[in-house]
Amino acid sequence: MTSITLTSTRAVFEPQGWSRVWALKRRIEVPLAGIRLVRRAPAGVGSGWWKGLRLPGTHLPGVIVAGSYLVEGQWEFWDVRGEGRSAIEVHLSGTRYSRLVVDVADPDAEVRRLQATLSGGR
């Protein structure tokens, strides 16, 4: 599970509990201006064997996908359990990661909150 904190200029994604261990990451900060798209992740996003080249992280298909993954020359960060039923996707530009796929407590509420922050800040 990942918590998201918003400031006037940045979004901070912080894996919680054991997610820090599995993902080998404490936090990711991105400028709000770098967020291009926020949406619910597609059904089954956590399933499947291949997420990309894992450097570093943890991957047990259908159980956990956590850490940094290199996909077609772009870095992605994942923190998803099971099939990812509570996951959101955050597409980025101009940052280290091109996409974040993270489980959150209330995906619909987080998507609305991020979208509202982005539309109010632009």
E runs forming strands in 1-122: 2-6, 10-15, 28-31, 35-40, 53-60, 64-71, 74-81, 87-92, 97-103
- Strand pairing of 28-31 and 10-15? antiparallel
Q: What is the pTM of this model?
A: 0.93
Task: Look at the alpha carbons of 56, 104, 86, 35 in this order and tell me if their dihedral is positive or negative.
Answer: negative
Residue 2: pLDDT band (50, 70, 90) is: very high
Residue with tokens 């959101």: 88
Q: What is the pLDDT of residue 48?
A: 77
pLDDT, average across residues 70-96: 95
pLDDT digits (tens, 9 = 90+) for 31-55: 999 999 999 999 888 887 778 778 8
Q: What is the pLDDT of residue 54?
A: 81
SS3 for 62? coil
Q: What is the pLDDT of residue 122?
A: 46
Rounded to an integer, what distance in angstroms lies between the CA atom of residue 104 and that of residue 82? 13
